[in-house]
A and B are shown apart, each in its own frame.
Chain A
Amino acid sequence: MAEKVAVVAFKLACAPDLHTTRERLVFNLTRGLFDELGIDRHAIDSFVMNSNDFLDGRTISTVFLDAPSGAYLKDETKVEMDGVHAVMYGWMRIMSGQYETALVVSLALTGSQVSPYVYTQYSLSPAYERQVGLLNELSGAALQAKAYLSRRGYSEELLDLVAAKDLELAAKNPRQIRRLENAGVERVRSSGPTYEPLRELHCYPPTDAGCVVLLASEKKAAELTDKPVWIKGFGSSIDTYFFGERDLTRSPSAADAAKRAFSMAGLTDPAREIDFAEISALYAHEEPLLAESMGLLPEGEAEKAYRAGDTRPGGSLPINPSGGSLGAHAPCVGGLMRLCEAVLQLRGEAGDLQLDGARTALVHGQDGICAQQNGVVILGV
C-alpha cells in the first residue's frame, strides 16, 4: 500500500463559453498537461473520468472522451458527482498500491451547451417535486438562505458582504470568469433579484469548465514535481433526501464530511490548524453556513466574522481567497476549481492572491439541492 499521495499538476479552463467541443476541450487539457510534464498517456496508470451523462446529453459519455484524454485501453472509471469525489477515487486507487499515478479528467459545458440547473433539477423527486414545479436549485437556495439568516439572527446584508468579499477577490483572479470592476456591497445589492433574498450576484455564473488533475504516489511525485501538495484526509457525507424534512439552517452532512476528513488528517483543532478554506459556495449564504457546519466559524458568529474581515486574506481564517464559486462554477468541475486554487496557494503560486504561510487547506465540493452531499479534502505541504 502507498504511504502518501500528492496532487502533482493540473490544467484548468473556464469561460462563459469555451467555444469548443467536449472532446477538444478534454484533448487540449490532457495534451497540455502531458506536454508540460514531458510525459505521455502511458505515464498514467489509472484514469478517473468526471462528468455527468445528463450534462453531456448521452449515456456512457466517457466512450467519447476516453480517446481525446488518452484513457483508451487503460484502467478507466468514472465519477458522475463533484470532482472532489473523483480525486478521492483516484487517491484510493493509488493508495491501494496497484497504481502509481491517476489522472482525473473533469468537464461540464454549463455555460454554453446545457443549463447548469439541469444537474440539480434531475436530482429532485421525479414523481413529486419535479411535477409540482415550485422547487429548483435557485428557489431551494433562496429558501435555505432565508431559513439560515432567520435562525441565526443574521441580517440580509451578510449575503452582500459574502458576495462582495468573493467578487472583489475574483476580480483579481485570472482563472475566474466573473471579474467585475467595483465589485463591492453596493454593486451586489443593485443586481437584480432572483428568488428573494438572493440576487444575481449572490449566485454563481453559468460556466463552461474543464479540468485535469494528476495524482501520484510519493515515489512518482518526486519524479514529476518539486512542489507536491499532499492529500492528508478526505470525508464525504449526504443529507436526507426529502426537502420538506431537511433542516435547511445547517448542513449535517458537511459537518460529518469535515469531521471524517479532519480525523484522517490528524487535525484536532481544525479552525486553528487550517490556514485557509476553498469552499464550493454556489450561493452567498452557503459560504458562512458551510463554514459554520464544518467547524471553521463558531455557529452564530458568522456575520460578526465577515464584518470584522476574519474571512478575508490576512484574517484569522481566509475563506475562498480565490474568489470562490461566485466567480465561476460548473457541476463536477466545481470542487476541482477549488482544489486547483488551494494547490496554487500551497505552492506559493497564487500571484496577487497569495496568502502568507499557507500550509494546510480545506477544499470542499458539493452536489444536490442546497448542498445535499458534501465532500471535504484536506491538503498540505
Chain B
Amino acid sequence: MEAEKLEFFNPKVPLDFQYNNRVGIGIERYLRGLGERKILGSKCPQCGKVAVPPRTVCGKCSATMGEFVEVSQEGTLENFTVGHVQLVKGQRLEKAESPYVVGLVRLDGVDSLLLARISGVDPSDLKVGMRVKAVWRDEVQGDYADLDHFQPA
C-alpha cells in the first residue's frame, strides 16, 4: 500500500541539533598525549591487553584499566577501504573530491585496531600487512587532528 500523494506536504522545515559531550579520563589522557606527539593506550592489569585509545574497563576481563602507557607509533595495516564518497556531517552522501583511504592499524604491542587515514601512498599500492607509521601535523594542539595520518614506514 502506498500513501496518497499530497503535494501540500512537500515544503520541508529544516531541523538542527548541537550536542556537547564531556570526555572521560581515557580520552582526556589520549588527547593530552596527542598534544605531546605521543599515542597513549591503557593496559589491563589482569590480562595485559593494551587498548588504543585508552578505555577504563577491559573488554575481555572487565578489570579496571588504570595504567596508561605510551605505545609505538608504528604498526601494521590490518584492513583498509578506499572511499569514493563522503558522508558530510554524518548525513549527506556526496562524491569525494578524490579517493581517500580509511585504515585499521594495529600498532606494535597494541591489541585493538586504530582507525586512521592512510596517506602518502597510491591506494593501488596498499596491501594488508604492510608496515605503517604515524605522521603528525606540524603544530600539535591536543586534538584528534594532531595524529594526521599513517603512511608506509
B-contacting residues of A (Cβ < 8 Å)? Answer: 11-13, 15, 18-21, 24-25, 28-29, 32, 57, 113-115, 117-118, 121-122, 126-132, 134-139, 142-143, 146-147, 150, 192-197, 210, 240, 242-245, 248
Contacts and interface: CB of A to CB of B under 8 A. Distances in A.
28 contacts: A11-B1, A15-B2, A18-B3, A19-B5, A19-B6, A20-B3, A20-B5, A29-B1, A57-B15, A114-B91, A117-B93, A121-B87, A121-B91, A138-B85, A139-B83, A139-B87, A143-B102, A147-B79, A194-B85, A195-B81, A195-B85, A196-B82, A242-B55, A242-B112, A243-B115, A244-B51, A244-B104, A244-B115
Contacts of B93: 115, 117, 138
B104 A143 contact: yes
Nearest to A120: B90
A288 B87 CA distance: 26
A65 to B, nearest CB: 14
A328 B66 CA distance: 46
B23 interface: yes
B142 to A, nearest CB: 13
A195 B84 contact: yes
Interface of B: 1-7, 9-10, 12, 15, 19, 21-24, 27, 51-53, 55, 59, 79-85, 87, 90-93, 102, 104, 111-117, 128, 144
A138 B86 CA distance: 9
Contacts of B4: 20, 28
A11 B3 CA distance: 11
A214 B59 CA distance: 40
Nearest to B85: A194
A133 B9 CA distance: 34
Contacts of A18: 2-3
Contacts of B82: 193, 195-196
Contacts of B53: 128
Given A134-B102, A195-B82, A245 B112 contact: yes
Contact of B112 (A13, A121, A136, A244): A244
Most-contacted residue by chain B among A128, A147, A192 (CB, 10 A): A128
B81 A126 contact: no
Contacts of B10: 19
A147 B79 CA distance: 7
Contacts of A12: 1
A340 B117 CA distance: 41
B1 A32 contact: yes
A115 B15 CA distance: 12
Contacts of B59: 240, 242, 245
Given A143-B79, A196-B82, A240-B59, A136 B3 contact: no
Contacts of A150: 79, 128
Contacts of A244: 51-52, 104, 112-115
Contacts of B9: 19-21, 24
A197 B59 CA distance: 30
A82 B151 CA distance: 39
Contacts of A118: 90-91
Given A12-B1, A20-B9, 19 more contacts: A13-B1, A18-B2, A19-B6, A115-B91, A115-B92, A118-B90, A121-B90, A130-B90, A131-B144, A137-B87, A138-B87, A142-B83, A146-B81, A150-B128, A194-B85, A196-B82, A210-B3, A245-B113, A248-B79
